[in-house]
Amino acid sequence: MSYFVVGYYAMLIGASCVAAYYSQRQVFLLLFSLTLVSFIVGIVGGVPALTFITTAAGALALAAGTSYAFREFLVLITPPSISRELKAAPLTASFGMFVILTYAIAGIFAPIMAPYGESEVIAGAFAPADENMLLGADQLGRDIFSRLIYGARNTVGLALLATLLAFFIGAIGGLLAATKGGFLDQLLGRTADVIMSVPSLIFALLMLSIFGTDLAVIVIVVAIIYAPRVFRLARAVAGNVVVMDYIEAAKLRGEGTGYLIRKEILPNSTAPLIAEFGLEFCFVFLLIAGLSFLGLGIQPPTADWGSMVRENATLISFGDITPLIPAAAIALLTVAVNFVVDWMLYRSSGLKD
């Protein structure tokens, strides 16, 4: 038995005993459960399996520590009204906010952070990583790390723009339908049903094949696909508000539709709509990345995470995981946004610990 195995189990058991001594029940359960799992996995997989568990546990501990430190940093720099909410935020939400901030910084300052240009050829095809290229080169000899940073600007920026447009169209339509009712409500509702009846990927492929793959076309097509989802939520939320007595009082005062939406309905519908914005961004982001992977999204030589996976997929046959890095970047942002959305939904639901 190696010194690593002995030290590993001794550390886990010692930490479990300390947690039990200080009555830290949740920490004790976590550590001792990890000890039992490690014991079973160690028998089956040996030292390599224990090494993997140690690495995974270390990565989780690093993520938890980073999330805690970032949450405390936000608590210190924000006003008291916001800091109280942030103080009660779970570590998953603070981790999501940290990842989102990191992606935003990478996208905004991509020309400064990237060591090379997004289309600059600096080496041979599929050159391995060295002191100049952190992740190696792609099929044309471009630095993958630089293109990964520029991809944060292009992929995330395009998804954010399409989400804003879809949210604007859907929210305005839903609020108008709930406020006006009658023929307008029926017309908008049936239009949304028709669009939602067509699978989003098939609809996007058809529209982009007809109108081309220009960035403006991609934004408009994706916004049309996801606007009905926002419409249905806004219509449902606003429908519960328009029947309230204060809405009837405002109508009796002679207030117009614009006033009712801006001053009465929208302020009472903000929380679920903001949460829906995060979910819509995830859907739009994944759709745009999928379209780029299929060759109908952001076109070369513009860096895009979906197209980067397709362009470097050959390396997987040789045991190189480089093509999985942009895929991991897509997955990480999606999970981070969902963490923040879950927290916002919890807060808007009125549930308490």
What are the pLDDT digits (tens) for 153-200? 888 889 999 999 999 999 899 888 888 888 888 898 899 989 988 888
| Mean pLDDT to the nearest integer, 314-320 | 78
* Contact present, 315 and 228 (Cβ < 8 Å): no
171 versus 254: the higher-pLDDT residue is 171
Do 238 and 179 contact (CB within 8 A), yes or no?
yes
Nearest to 326 by CA among 282, 293, 283: 293
Q: Count CA within 13 A, CB hemisphere, residue 335.
A: 9
* pLDDT tens column, 75-93: 888 888 888 888 888 889 9
pLDDT at 221: 92
User: Which residues are within 8 A (CB) of 302 and not within 5 positions of it... i.e. 6 or more apart?
Assistant: 118, 150, 154
Whether residue 212 has pLDDT greater than 70: yes
Report pLDDT for 227.
Answer: 92
Cis bond upstream, residue 301 (ω within 30): yes
Helix or strand holding residue 63 (H, E): helix 25-77
For the chain, give the percent of residues with pLDDT over 90.
Answer: 14
Helix axis angle for 91-108 and 25-77, nearest 10°, is 40
Choose the weakest-confidence range: 96-100, 110-114, 231-235, 272-276: 272-276
What are the residues whose beta carbons fall under 8 Å from the beta carbon of 79, sequence distance 6 or more?
A: none
Domains of the chain as residue ranges with CATH: 3-64 (no CATH), 106-349 (1.10.3720.10)
Residue 71 has pLDDT above 70, yes or no: yes
* Tokens at 230, concatenated: 């926002």
